[in-house]
């Protein structure tokens, strides 16, 4: 539902220079603007040779990287060549300097080992031809994608603008500094949500502490120009839980109003108006808020940003995990390699109560545990945390 909502409109496209494009999603596929390499290139420092040896050569620095085209290399001759230099036409092979014997007296070059035609030459177009697709639309621009784009001739990239997110932190009991005291506790969600949402590709404003003030919540919602508003706390039915009443007063459409998931069952997804921002209401219990982040905010943002949603996958779980009688549980897990011939698996972590963050801080994923629980050795679906990402588009392409 959240992913579908996010994909509702066509994603906008902007062009950003390479040094500002990191982390954005490509709005279009990147086609190579040139052959790569764009000329036959020496892969080693050594000698370009033509025909069978020994080869006559002239003294001097020879062919260097970054210079214009070299003249044709006549049969039976050799010329010094640097890594990255253009290989002269009619070159048979490049011989690495450590595999060559230079007879200065006779002006002859000998190979110390057999020479294979084409060795240590990177032929033009070896990596790609001009126009060939390098990276599909929807790919997140990583440092490596930036390098590839530059190599292929790009100065700017067509990307989807980052979704803008406002974070509103509700609760009179929250402190922003120091130790808990007198029933007051530290706000654990404000410091977590900005970086987490940025890791999902969003542009996030500083979290705004609003206390338990329905009027402040209402005016924050109506004055926001974000694509998504994330609230924390106030989703349940307590005396100071203002999220539902304020959404109702604003005529918002509730798309998800509670889920059969623990922790996180009161999470909600709403749209403030048909063209207005979405709102993800995260429960106040910190691990319950993480559940809502992964299952509502992440797919919604992926949809808005044109990014493919996480590919579901399963992994062996290494211990019995108890279940909720009728709801699905999300349990922090960490991936572990199999030892002594055992299979790779995930280990469930302790300290996974709804109000705890100790388990998730050590985790790289959440296991989806069906009602009733699972036995050790069962496969369960895993939701990755954003700092344990996969790159689904490479599968089948280069493997």
Instruction: Please choose which of ligand LQZAQKY5, ligand MOO, none residue 308 contacts, taking the beta carbon within 5 to 8 angstroms, the exact cut-off set by kind.
Output: none
Measured in whole angstroms, the distance separating CA 34 from the mean position of its chain's CA atoms is: 26
Q: Does 216 sit near ligand LQZAQKY5 (CB under 6 A)?
A: no
Contact characters 286-305, ligand MOO, x per CB under 6 A: --x-----------------
The listed partner (ligand MOO, ligand LQZAQKY5, none) that binds 91, CB under 5 to 8 Å by sort, is none
User: Total residues contacting ligand LQZAQKY5 (rule CB under 6 A)?
Assistant: 24
| Selected range binding ligand MOO among 53-61, 62-70, 261-269, 334-342, rule: CB under 6 A | 261-269
Please, which of residues 323-362 interact with ligand LQZAQKY5 by CB under 6 A? 354
Contact between residue 187 and residue 176 where contact means Cβ atoms under 8 Å apart: yes
Q: Which residues contact 109 (CB under 8 A, 6 or more apart)?
A: 47, 49, 53, 54, 55, 56, 57, 78, 95, 100, 101, 102, 103
Find the shortest distance in angstroms from Cβ 238 to ligand MOO: 13
* Residue 262 binding ligand MOO, by CB under 6 A: yes
Of 234, 277, 299, 359, the one binding ligand LQZAQKY5 by CB under 6 A: 234
Closest CB to ligand MOO among 224 and 235? 235
Of 268-327, binders to ligand LQZAQKY5 (CB under 6 A) are 283-286, 288
Token pair 């990014």: residue: 307
Listed residue (284, 289, 258, 255) closest to 272, CA to CA: 255
Interaction between residue 354 and ligand MOO (CB under 6 A): yes
231 touching ligand LQZAQKY5, by CB under 6 A: no
Binding site for ligand LQZAQKY5 (CB under 6 A): 169, 171, 173-174, 185, 187-189, 232-236, 238, 241, 263, 265-266, 283-286, 288, 354
């Amino acid at each position: 539902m959240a992913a579908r909502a996010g994909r509702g409109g066509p994603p906008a496209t902007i062009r950003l220079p390479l040094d500002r494009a990191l982390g954005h999603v490509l709005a279009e596929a990147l086609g190579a603007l040139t052959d790569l390499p764009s000329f036959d290139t020496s892969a080693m420092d050594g000698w370009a040779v033509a025909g069978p040896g020994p080869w006559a050569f002239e003294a001097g620095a020879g062919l260097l990287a970054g210079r214009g085209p070299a003249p044709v290399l006549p049969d039976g001759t050799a010329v010094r060549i640097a890594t990255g230099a253009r290989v002269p036409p009619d070159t048979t092979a490049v011989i690495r300097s450590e595999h060559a014997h230079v007879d200065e007296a006779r002006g002859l070059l000998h190979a110390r080992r057999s020479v294979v035609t084409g060795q240590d030459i990177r032929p033009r177009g070896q990596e790609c031809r001009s126009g060939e697709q390098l990276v599909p639309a929807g790919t997140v621009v990583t440092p490596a994608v930036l390098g590839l784009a530059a190599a292929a001739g790009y100065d700017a990239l067509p990307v989807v603008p980052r979704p803008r997110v406002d974070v509103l932190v509700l609760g009179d009991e929250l402190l922003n500094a120091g130790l808990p005291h007198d029933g007051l506790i530290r706000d654990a969600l404000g410091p977590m949500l900005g970086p987490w949402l940025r890791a999902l590709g969003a542009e996030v404003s500083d979290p705004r502490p609003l206390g338990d003030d329905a009027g402040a919540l209402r005016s924050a919602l109506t004055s926001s120009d974000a694509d998504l508003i994330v609230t924390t706390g106030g989703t349940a039915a307590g005396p100071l839980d203002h999220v539902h009443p304020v959404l109702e007063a604003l005529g918002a459409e509730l798309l998800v109003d509670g889920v059969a998931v623990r922790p996180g069952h009161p999470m909600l997804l709403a749209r403030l108006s048909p063209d207005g921002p979405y709102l993800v209401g995260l429960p106040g219990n910190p691990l319950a808020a993480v559940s809502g982040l992964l299952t509502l905010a992440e797919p919604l943002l992926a949809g808005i940003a044109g990014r493919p949603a996480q590919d579901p996958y399963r992994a062996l779980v290494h211990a019995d995990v108890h279940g909720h009688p009728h709801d699905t549980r999300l349990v922090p897990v960490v991936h572990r390699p199999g030892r002594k011939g055992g299979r790779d698996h995930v280990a469930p972590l302790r300290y996974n109560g709804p109000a705890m963050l100790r388990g998730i801080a050590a985790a790289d994923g959440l296991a989806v545990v069906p009602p009733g629980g699972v036995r050790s050795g069962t496969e369960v679906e895993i939701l990755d945390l954003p700092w344990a990402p996969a790159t689904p588009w490479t599968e089948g392409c280069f493997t």
